[in-house]
Amino acid sequence: MQLDLYGLTFDTPKVTAYLWSPWRAAAIEHRLFDMVRQIGGVEVEQDADELRAHITDAKQWKQALTAMARVLKGWQEEATDAGRERRAWRWLLEGDTDDHGYDHGGEPASLWAFLRVGLDRGGLEEADKGEDVDLNGFGLRIWPNR
């Protein structure tokens, strides 16, 4: 399938959404995973310490990306209503490979997408009180074509 991630196009057999350590994951990570899980045709696997949802169709991917953006925009707007905090989010893309096409764990090299959220609590009178938080409980794996 060909998928589009904000202007970047990938040719991949599937994308897997992960929820690692569900008992420790933040509520927003659970909401993101649940939105992906609810898309029709998505296959979900469960292990003791992680959940996986496999997206194998471009239409499913488009629905998943739109659903995740809605969750993140809703989270962002929650702070706007209170007026004391500004929130932002961005996708971080990461990958590593050796010269044989395998990552540090011996698996086929993949591209990973993780989320970083930014919280800005400062005002005009106050010093900047911003911080970035990596959401380590949720991630996307874009699989290689083999």
What per-residue confidence (pLDDT) applies to 29?
A: 96
Model pTM score:
0.89
Q: How many domains does the chain have?
A: 1
Q: How many CA atoms lie within 13 A of 2 on its CB side?
A: 3
**Tens of pLDDT along 31-73?**
999 999 999 999 999 998 999 999 999 999 999 999 999 999 9
Which domain covers residue 82, as residue numbers? 2-142
Return d(Cα 106, Cα 119) in angstroms, integer. Answer: 36
Distance of CA 10 to the CA centre of its chain: 16
pLDDT above 80: residue 30: yes
* Confidence at 27, pLDDT banded by 50, 70, 90: very high
Q: Which residue has the tokens 């609590």?
A: 121
**Tens of pLDDT along 66-109?**
999 999 999 998 876 566 788 999 999 999 899 998 988 888 89
DSSP 143: P
3-state helix, strand, coil in the chain (%, to 5): 25, 40, 35
